[in-house]
Protein backbone atom coordinates (compact mmCIF):
# COMPACT_ATOMS: atom_id res chain seq x y z
CA UNK A 1 0.00 0.00 0.00
CA UNK A 2 0.88 3.66 -0.16
CA UNK A 3 3.61 4.70 2.22
CA UNK A 4 5.17 7.97 3.22
CA UNK A 5 8.72 7.98 4.50
CA UNK A 6 10.69 10.60 6.38
CA UNK A 7 14.37 11.10 6.83
CA UNK A 8 16.01 11.38 9.22
CA UNK A 9 13.96 9.81 11.96
CA UNK A 10 15.96 11.61 14.61
CA UNK A 11 18.28 14.56 14.50
CA UNK A 12 20.17 16.43 17.16
CA UNK A 13 21.76 19.73 16.28
CA UNK A 14 23.34 22.73 17.87
CA UNK A 15 21.47 25.97 18.24
CA UNK A 16 21.88 28.20 15.21
CA UNK A 17 22.33 25.44 12.68
CA UNK A 18 19.89 24.47 9.96
CA UNK A 19 18.27 21.08 9.64
CA UNK A 20 16.63 19.55 6.60
CA UNK A 21 13.89 16.95 6.87
CA UNK A 22 12.76 14.96 3.87
CA UNK A 23 9.32 13.56 3.21
CA UNK A 24 8.84 11.10 0.38
CA UNK A 25 5.78 9.46 -1.01
CA UNK A 26 6.51 5.88 -2.05
CA UNK A 27 4.52 4.21 -4.82
CA UNK A 28 2.42 7.29 -5.49
CA UNK A 29 2.79 10.88 -6.55
CA UNK A 30 1.92 13.66 -4.20
CA UNK A 31 1.56 17.12 -5.63
CA UNK A 32 0.53 18.28 -2.19
CA UNK A 33 2.04 17.37 1.11
CA UNK A 34 1.47 18.69 4.58
CA UNK A 35 3.83 19.39 7.44
CA UNK A 36 2.72 19.07 11.04
CA UNK A 37 4.46 19.72 14.31
CA UNK A 38 3.77 17.96 17.56
CA UNK A 39 5.11 19.12 20.89
CA UNK A 40 5.34 16.65 23.78
CA UNK A 41 1.96 15.53 25.02
CA UNK A 42 0.21 17.78 22.57
CA UNK A 43 -1.66 17.16 19.40
CA UNK A 44 -0.47 17.70 15.86
CA UNK A 45 -0.63 21.22 14.52
CA UNK A 46 -0.61 21.92 10.82
CA UNK A 47 2.32 24.12 9.87
CA UNK A 48 2.16 24.41 6.12
CA UNK A 49 0.98 22.98 2.85
CA UNK A 50 3.71 22.00 0.42
CA UNK A 51 2.75 22.42 -3.22
CA UNK A 52 4.70 20.86 -6.05
CA UNK A 53 6.12 23.51 -8.32
CA UNK A 54 4.85 26.46 -6.34
CA UNK A 55 5.29 28.21 -3.03
CA UNK A 56 4.19 26.59 0.15
CA UNK A 57 1.31 28.07 2.08
CA UNK A 58 1.81 28.56 5.78
CA UNK A 59 -0.67 28.48 8.61
CA UNK A 60 -1.09 31.51 10.78
CA UNK A 61 1.73 31.98 13.22
CA UNK A 62 4.25 29.85 11.31
CA UNK A 63 7.30 31.77 10.11
CA UNK A 64 7.90 31.01 6.47
CA UNK A 65 11.47 32.28 6.59
CA UNK A 66 12.27 29.96 9.43
CA UNK A 67 10.60 26.87 8.04
CA UNK A 68 11.60 26.66 4.42
CA UNK A 69 9.66 24.20 2.31
CA UNK A 70 10.66 22.92 -1.07
CA UNK A 71 8.57 20.60 -3.21
CA UNK A 72 10.45 20.28 -6.47
CA UNK A 73 9.25 16.85 -7.53
CA UNK A 74 6.16 14.75 -7.32
CA UNK A 75 7.39 12.56 -4.52
CA UNK A 76 9.57 14.72 -2.32
CA UNK A 77 8.99 17.63 -0.01
CA UNK A 78 11.68 19.03 2.25
CA UNK A 79 11.33 21.09 5.37
CA UNK A 80 14.37 23.08 6.46
CA UNK A 81 14.40 24.50 9.93
CA UNK A 82 16.76 27.45 9.64
CA UNK A 83 18.79 28.75 12.54
CA UNK A 84 17.21 26.23 14.84
CA UNK A 85 16.72 27.06 18.49
CA UNK A 86 15.78 24.85 21.43
CA UNK A 87 12.15 25.93 21.17
CA UNK A 88 12.06 24.37 17.70
CA UNK A 89 12.65 20.98 19.25
CA UNK A 90 9.61 18.98 18.33
CA UNK A 91 8.27 16.02 16.41
CA UNK A 92 7.70 16.88 12.76
CA UNK A 93 5.34 14.75 10.69
CA UNK A 94 4.48 15.02 7.04
CA UNK A 95 1.45 13.67 5.24
CA UNK A 96 0.38 13.15 1.68
CA UNK A 97 -3.03 12.53 0.17
CA UNK A 98 -3.15 9.55 -2.12
CA UNK A 99 -5.54 11.34 -4.44
CA UNK A 100 -7.22 9.66 -7.34
CA UNK A 101 -10.63 10.46 -5.95
CA UNK A 102 -9.93 8.87 -2.60
CA UNK A 103 -9.99 10.66 0.71
CA UNK A 104 -7.06 8.67 1.98
CA UNK A 105 -4.07 10.44 3.39
CA UNK A 106 -0.96 8.82 4.75
CA UNK A 107 1.35 10.13 7.42
CA UNK A 108 5.07 9.71 7.65
CA UNK A 109 6.72 8.13 10.69
CA UNK A 110 7.90 11.51 11.90
CA UNK A 111 11.23 13.18 12.63
CA UNK A 112 12.25 14.04 16.15
CA UNK A 113 14.31 17.20 16.22
CA UNK A 114 16.30 18.12 19.29
CA UNK A 115 18.10 21.42 19.31
CA UNK A 116 20.76 21.79 21.97
Partner 1 sequence: SQELEQSPQSLIVQEGKNLTINCTSSKTLYGLYWYKQKYGEGLIFLMMLQKGGEEKSHEKITAKLDEKKQQSSLHITASQPSHAGIYLCGADMDSGTYKYIFGTGTRLKVLA
Give min distance, CB of 97 to partner 1, in A: 5
Closest CB to partner 1 among 49 and 82?
Answer: 49
Closest CB to partner 1 among 5 and 80?
Answer: 5
Give min distance, CB of 27 to partner 1, in A: 16
Cβ atoms of 113 and 19 closer than 8 Å: yes
Exposure string over 9-21, b if 16+ CB within 10 A, otherwise e: eebebeeeeebeb
Closest CB to partner 1 among 29 and 42?
Answer: 42
Between 60 and 89, how does the x/- string for binding to partner 1 read (CB under 8 A)? ------------------------------
How far is CA 98 from each of CA 1, 42, 45, 71, rounded to the nearest angstrom? 10, 26, 20, 16
Give min distance, CB of 54 to partner 1, in A: 16
Amino acid sequence: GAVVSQHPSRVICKSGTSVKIECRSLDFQATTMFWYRQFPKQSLMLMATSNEGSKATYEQGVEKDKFLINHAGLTLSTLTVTSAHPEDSSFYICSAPVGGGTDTQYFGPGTRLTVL
